[in-house]
Amino acid sequence: MTYKLRPNLATRDIHGELVVVDMHSGAYHVFNEVGGIIWKGLAAAREPADILLELTGTFAVAAPQIKADFDRFIDQLKSIGLLE
């Protein structure tokens, strides 16, 4: 399953964080390095499994914890309306 980002969102990397601005509402969101990797993967229409592999290869964290964090981040994106 792939996730689709809502249109009218602008992104910018600033000092290791990813800032996402909703051009319609003016709301902005700041994501840490992990959130940035997930966001960029979603923006590239990558499969969640591929994003998870990148995360497990980048961070010294057990795969089940990374999966739980990924799922939590996706739920947050849905709840704030950044995913369609």
Where along the chain do its domains lie?
Answer: 9-79
d(CA 74, CA 38): 9
CA distances (Å), 65 to each of 4, 33, 61, in order? Answer: 23, 16, 7
Confidence of residue 20 (pLDDT cuts 50, 70, 90): very high
d(CA 34, CA 29): 14
Structural tokens at position 22: 């909703």
pLDDT surpasses 90 at 38? yes
Q: Which helix (H) or strand (E) segment is 12 a member of? A: strand 9-14
Report if pTM > 0.85.
Answer: yes
9: nearest Cα among 29, 35, 31, 36: 29
pLDDT of residue 49: 97
